[in-house]
Amino acid sequence: MTTRPVGVFDSGIGGLSVLQALRSELPHQSFVYLADSGHAPYGERDATHVITRSRLITQHLRAAHDIQALVVACNTATAAAIHLLREEHPDLPIVGLEPALKPAALASRTHRVGVLATRGTLQSAKFQTLHQSLADQADFVLRACDGLADAIEHQDLSRIQALAREHVAALGGCGAASGQIDTVVLGCTHYPLILPTLRALLGPEVALVESGAPVARQTRRMLPQAAQTGQPQPLWYTTGDAGELQAAVQRWLQAQVRVEALKI
């Protein structure tokens, strides 16, 4: 058994939704959360930027915290960089995110599935390969939600409402009737943080599918042996404004935490 922490990083606060699932699955495990808010949003930046930041953060978490595993709690970073991180750190278990297209296709009764994601995720080769492999299982309606992750990152409630309304409307008809979208994939870790807003816009008949719980289960499987006692609080770091991450944790996770700002 090891008490070494698990590292979790995202371009900002979106990974809080994944960390919440991780802590539910592994209540006695210690975590280090790093929000790369000073270099966000990843989803609207080029792949070179995302790869560079993902490499630097992985190196930092290993050197500063001796992490035993890494969770890339960002769809865009997973799509752009996880294959390189695994090549460069073969001794480190690394868990990434994948938009839940397959479970959504299996769950859909109308065989029409909406996908809300960042432009970076939808344009990635990893996503396109996944999409093509499932093309015969459902009709996927893809929507690049420009601006939405950034609005959530900055907790701009009026902008969140306006952008969520715009992007949901762009999917087309949603509901349980034939020809309608009855299942929507949340393909960015920021989006589960506004679940009530999305639920109100989509209606009660539409299923929402996200990746936090599957990632948490996979992380548990990859750890040598999960800790069995204690409830350690995560360590919190950001490359942006510490007050913003503190406010985000308080808003979305109802917790008071101390955040340290980093320059990496």
Q: Could you give the residue numbers annotated as active site?
A: 74, 188
Distances in Å between the alpha carbon of 105 and those of 109, 140, 192, 264? Answer: 8, 9, 19, 40
E-strand ranges in the chain read 6-10, 31-35, 69-72, 94-95, 112-117, 139-144, 183-186, 207-209, 235-238, 259-261
Q: CA end-to-end span of the chain, whole Å?
A: 31
CB 222 within 8 A of CB 110: no
CB 85 within 8 A of CB 58: yes
CB 223 within 8 A of CB 29: yes
3 state SS of 198: helix
In whole angstroms, what is the distance from residue 63 CA to residue 229 CA?
A: 26
3 state SS of 244: helix
CB 101 within 8 A of CB 113: yes
Cis peptide bond upstream of 196, omega within 30: no
Sheet holding 6-10, edge to edge: 94-95, 69-72, 6-10, 31-35, 235-238, 259-261
